[in-house]
């Protein structure tokens, strides 16, 4: 789980004495952190569907990338499946917050299934932009990570061959479109702000006529959480990022922390913390990916207080007030 990032022992200042289990520890907590409006909405859709239809309610793919959240919904009556053909006839099915190809709701409708779309509205916005660019005769360069559900869902909004995936600046250099080609670029909503900016700059340098989205595709929550980590991580020796190993936005937070000078550890629960990581460390940062509930943040703080004499401080870099409406099926 922690393989992409070096252990604190590799990067923390050397110490001849192991840290006392109750030695002082400064804890810097980044804000915003944790659940975003799209995740809040997706979870509420599942919970309300269970209340309205009764269990079981089926969900295609993890509703969000967090095992704690998924297990909690399973306990309430949600059943998670990988593909639509695993859903029995006559039961409701919900599509995850990451979005799905158009073929999935079409197949659900053909089978007569009641379905609910929990796709984050900011992901849906990218889907609509993709449709418009194709309608305008442009080929889309899509900045994202191969195999991520959001990428698969976005590619599934347009005819096959209408998009080319771009993951790195090197991928831009390898493109074989002529300089005057009718192109547009879009991006996955959970990418590194800095990496994406570099890729966009490379695209624009090579294709000056490329059409840009009306607004940045990286969502407000991703940008805000990365900015908060940039505020906290430079003053920390170690940064804990609460999130799943398959969560794109959580992985990006760990990368941002690394680049800011902290050693980053991606953890899912407080139980993942190895006390040895804190040896020689007196300043720790803490954040949580957009799919991680605040209860896990509190759990990690409590664990650190068991191990060390903690003094904590929160650093707030933005205030989030965005909320999204639920599907009409659940509000009427």
By annotation, the residues acting in catalysis are: 150
8 Å CB contact between 154 and 146: no
Output phi, psi for 95, to 5 deg.
-95, 140
Contact (Cβ atoms closer than 8 angstroms) between residue 282 and residue 314: no
Half-sphere exposure of residue 316: CA atoms within 13 angstroms, side-chain side: 3
CA distance 308 to 20: 8
Beta bridge partner(s), residue 264: 239
Kindly state the tokens that stand for 104: 């999935």
Residue with tokens 């993709």: 130
Q: How far is CA 18 from CA 138, 283, 306, in A?
A: 60, 15, 17
Residue 326 burial (CB < 10 Å; 0-12/13-18/19+)? middle
Distance CA 186, CA 124 (A): 12
Measured distance CA(264)–CA(272) in Å, rounded = 13
Residue the block writes with tokens 């000078």: 261
Give the whole-angstrom CA distance, residue 42 versus residue 74.
14
Is 78:59 a contact under the CB 8 Å cutoff? yes
């Amino acid at each position: 789980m922690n393989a992409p990032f070096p252990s604190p022992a590799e990067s923390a200042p050397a110490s001849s004495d192991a840290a006392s289990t109750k030695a002082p520890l400064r804890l810097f907590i980044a804000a915003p952190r944790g659940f975003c409006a799209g995740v809040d909405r997706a979870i509420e859709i599942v919970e309300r569907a269970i209340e309205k239809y009764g269990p079981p309610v089926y969900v295609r793919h993890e509703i969000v990338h967090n095992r704690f959240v998924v297990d909690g919904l399973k306990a309430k009556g949600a059943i998670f499946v990988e593909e639509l053909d695993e859903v029995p006839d006559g039961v409701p099915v919900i599509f995850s917050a990451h979005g799905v190809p158009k073929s999935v709701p079409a197949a659900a409708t053909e089978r007569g299934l009641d379905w609910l779309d929990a796709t984050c509205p900011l992901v849906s916005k990218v889907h609509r932009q993709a449709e418009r660019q194709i309608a305008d005769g442009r080929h889309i360069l899509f900045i994202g990570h191969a195999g991520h559900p959001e990428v698969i869902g976005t590619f599934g909004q347009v005819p096959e061959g209408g998009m080319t995936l771009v993951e790195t600046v090197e991928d831009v250099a390898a493109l074989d479109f002529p300089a005057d080609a009718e192109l547009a670029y879009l991006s996955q909503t959970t990418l590194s702000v800095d990496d994406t900016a570099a890729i966009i700059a490379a695209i624009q340098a090579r294709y000056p006529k490329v059409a840009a989205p009306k607004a940045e595709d990286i969502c407000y929550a991703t940008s805000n959480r990365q900015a908060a980590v940039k505020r906290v991580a430079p003053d920390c020796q170690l940064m804990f990022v609460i999130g799943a190993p398959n969560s794109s936005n959580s992985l990006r937070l760990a990368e941002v922390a690394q680049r800011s000078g902290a050693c980053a550890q991606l953890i899912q629960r407080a139980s993942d913390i190895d006390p040895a990581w804190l040896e020689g460390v007196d300043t720790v940062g803490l954040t949580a990916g957009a799919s991680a509930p605040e209860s896990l943040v509190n759990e990690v703080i409590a664990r650190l207080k068991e191990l060390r004499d903690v003094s904590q401080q929160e650093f707030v870099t933005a205030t989030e007030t965005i909320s999204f409406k639920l599907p009409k099926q659940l509000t009427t």
